[in-house]
A and B are shown apart, each in its own frame.
Chain A
Amino acid sequence: MPLIRVSDLSLGYDSQIILKGLNFVVNAGDYLCIVGENGSGKSTLMKTLLHLTPPLGGKIEFSDGLSENEIGYLPQQTLVQRDFPASVKEIVLSGCQGKCGLRPFYNKAEKELAKKNMERMEIADLSNRCYRELSGGQQQRVLLARALCAAEKVLLLDEPVSGLDPVVTEKMYSLIKRLNEEQVTIIMISHDIAAAVRYATHILHIGDSIFFGTGEEYLKSKEGSLFLKKADEEEKKNG
């Protein structure tokens, strides 16, 4: 039984379907990249997997070993966060909330967990800094540490490298790769096809036509080659 099995899923908002006929499976230890154009419904798919928006048809099945809040989530950034007064520590700790139930305070184990994950993401020295004063790359690592506090088994990452420079992007990718090697299942949205093919074990392309398979299969498929060509043209146009 795979970790997550999605069959004939339709998604959208208020009964308006954005995408339908989605089929894929995620096994433990997989690294799945979701690619597709802006507005094709990648973030919506992620929210549907997280039960934030109800599916409009089809099924999402989780294996028995995986309960709902064993999934960590790194959202595409929202505006509210930008001027929010909060320290790195406060934010990372808030990832443990799901474990707290109704207990009003964090216990020792949760504080330890937060500390461990800050070290894992190499932000331990920033723990008392204000989130909004950090660089984009540091902010992403804070949110990643928070996601790790919420869950160890599966991480859903919505464009974790958007807006980062090439060096920091590489660093982010290798951090994520390292997590994957530590048996964390990764599901990541990305616009960076080259990196997706390099790091991911599987690729899901959504849009007018849907593709699901391994990275190599993707390069040979018509969705893959078309998308790559488009990306190439974009690059040439932009200089």
Chain B
Amino acid sequence: MDKLIMYLQHPLVLRALIVGVLIAFCSSLLGVTLVLKRFSFIGDGLSHVAFGGIAIASVCNLSNRMLIVLPVTVISAILLLRTGKSAKIKGDAAIAMISVAALAFGYLLMNLTSSSSNLSGDVCSTLFGSTSILTLTRWEVILCAVLSAATLLIFLLFYHKFFAVTFDEDFAKASGIKADRYNLLIAVIIAVIIVLAMNLVGSLLISALVIFPALSAMRLFRTFRSVTICSAVLSVTGALSGILLSILAGTPVGSTIVAVDAVLFGICFLAGKIRGIN
């Protein structure tokens, strides 16, 4: 306990906690939509693209990797959504192709150009998240806060639209909602969230961060609003306890958070069974 309090007084740890909570909060908001729209695979594909983006950024020796990763991921999100809708190209196949290619090229680039002596360490930390959350710069914390605030604002403003488009796209279109526009907006937000979440859990575990809280909440609640709120609470709880646990136990941050999320899912699953919902 003393150890914990000592750590909490450290500004870096505090920073990590703030960022972690913000990211977890945002990523859970659209989780429900993502799961229900069967968009979860897009999230997975995008995370690999983001990995490729990081590779490019590190080749270019950019001090701020977000500047490359963010636009690359957002553009890919838009492209993936487009191909996913066209009947001619199989959406799944396109996503698999892009994401695996991004992964391969990313690793290749890192391998060819890396001057770092610890290449596999670098790659590993990009994939699984690292202690990097403890070494965030001020700038990154601010960017993270701004993006989170923007995500929350957009989500609140368009909450009912997102609900309508997620529940029944055809009906939404028929009643005059520009569903394509909102799908695009959802894709862009997902991309932003993925880039944010990459700092927290690394690119391989992002889907877990986005999807676990939503799935857990769906075990317990039955209205869209309560599921959304519950998944936000669960996600923040998971992130907080995950980060604290990892500090105390010295485990990697990302996988600890996801492990906590998985345990929470198990609990919710059982609780749902007991309450007889599913």
Q: Are B167 and A84 in contact (CB under 8 A)?
A: yes
Q: Are A75 and B170 in contact (CB under 8 A)?
A: yes
Q: Are A52 and B170 in contact (CB under 8 A)?
A: yes
Q: Which of B102-110, B221-229, B255-263 contacts A (4 or more CB under 8 A)?
A: B221-229
Q: Are B176 and A68 in contact (CB under 8 A)?
A: yes
Task: Indicate which residue in B161, B168, B221 contacts A78 across the interface (CB closer than 8 Å).
Answer: B168
On chain B, the residues within 8 Å of A90 by CB distance are 163, 223-225
Given contacts A52-B170, A84-B36, A87-B224, contact A104 B175 (CB under 8 A): no
Interface size, chain A (Cβ < 8 Å): 40
Of residues 72 through 127 on chain A, the ones whose CB sits less than 8 Å from some CB of chain B are 72-73, 75, 78, 80-81, 83-87, 90-91, 93-95, 97-98, 100, 104-106
Q: Indicate the size class of the contact surface on chain B.
A: 20 to 34
Q: Are B175 and A98 in contact (CB under 8 A)?
A: yes
On chain B, the residues within 8 Å of A95 by CB distance are 171, 175
Q: Which of B61-69, B152-160, B241-249 contacts A (4 or more CB under 8 A)?
A: B152-160
Q: Are B223 and A98 in contact (CB under 8 A)?
A: no
A73 and B164 alpha carbons, distance in the complex (Å): 14
A69 and B161 alpha carbons, distance in the complex (Å): 16
On chain A, the residues within 8 Å of B176 by CB distance are 68-69, 98
Q: Are A97 and B173 in contact (CB under 8 A)?
A: no
Binding site for B on A (CB under 8 A): 13-14, 47, 50-52, 68-69, 71-73, 75, 78, 80-81, 83-87, 90-91, 93-95, 97-98, 100, 104-106, 128, 130, 132-133, 146-147, 150-151, 156
Beyond contacts A73-B174, A98-B177: 10 other A-B pairs, Cβ-Cβ < 8 A, are A13-B87, A85-B222, A86-B222, A87-B224, A90-B225, A97-B177, A104-B156, A104-B160, A147-B171, A150-B171
Binding site for A on B (CB under 8 A): 32, 36-38, 87-88, 156-161, 163-164, 166-168, 170-177, 218, 221-227
